[in-house]
Amino acid sequence: MTTRFRFIVLSLLLVACATVAFATDFAVIVHPSNAAKAMSLADLGKILREKTTNWPNGRVITVVIRDPNSPAMKFVIEKAMGGTAEDGKAVLNEESRKPAASIIFVSSDEDIVKTVEANPTAIGIVDVYNITSGVKVIRIDDKQPFDPGYVLKGH
């Protein structure tokens, strides 16, 4: 390992083993052609709850997320939809949403990114480390991932 690395990180193996808690930021992504540049966390919650179903241009919003039962999504659901993760999951899994394809569950962040890259009406939520330049990261509550105080910083 490098010398700098040694000083900063490696020395803490045993501590890390005892308390594992890696934090990541979740990025809200849309197709680059989407005019949206920012939204509030409350607006994101409305989209997830299907209270808001259309973009300002009238096109139907398609939500692309991972299985609501995954640990990462549990955090996002609680944060964006309010209430418990179970309530959020129930809303996201409502049968009435599926025929309209307003929500798509996929198995990986890579699949979310690919789906959003190909769909001008999609909005997805991924670990920021999985974004590409084929998607646009939008600001939530005036902040983007890695900004201090970014609301979708999870554990």
Partner 1 sequence: MGFRNTFEFAIIAVFVAGIAAVGPIARAQKSAASRKIGALAVKSDTVPVTTSSKEARQDYELGLSHREDLLFTEEGIDFFRKSVKADPHFALGHATLAFFTTDPSEEVRELALAKASASHAAPDEKLLIQWMTGTKNGQLVPAIAAMNDLLAKYPNDKRLANMYGEWLLGAQENYDQAAKVLEKILKNDPDYYPALNNLAYSYALGGRAELAPPLMDQYVAALPGQPNPQDSYAEILRMAGDFPDALDHYRTALRIAPTFFTSQVGIASTYALMGDEERARFEYVKAIDMAKERTDRMDYRILWAMTYFRENRPGLARKAFAEVAAEAHKQNLPIEEAECHRDTALFNPDSESAMNDLDAASAVMADKRHILVGTRETELAKILQTRSFIAVRTDNVDAARKALEGLNSMAQTNRDNVVQDAYHSANGAVMFLQGDYSGAISELEEDPRDPLSLQLLADAESKAGQTADAQKTLKTLAAINDETVEMAVVVPPVRAALKSNGSPSAQETSH
Residues at the contact surface with partner 1, assessed by CB under 8 A: 1-22, 24, 27, 127-135, 137, 144-150
The distance of closest approach from Cβ of residue 119 to partner 1 in the complex, given in angstroms and rounded to an integer, is 18
Smaller CB separation from partner 1, 99 or 149: 149
Smaller CB separation from partner 1, 21 or 35: 21
Distances (CA, A) of 90 to 97, 103, 126: 11, 13, 20
The distance of closest approach from Cβ of residue 102 to partner 1 in the complex, given in angstroms and rounded to an integer, is 26
Smaller CB separation from partner 1, 49 or 74: 74
The distance of closest approach from Cβ of residue 60 to partner 1 in the complex, given in angstroms and rounded to an integer, is 26
Smaller CB separation from partner 1, 17 or 35: 17
Rounded distance, CA 51 to CA 57, Å? 16
The distance of closest approach from Cβ of residue 11 to partner 1 in the complex, given in angstroms and rounded to an integer, is 3
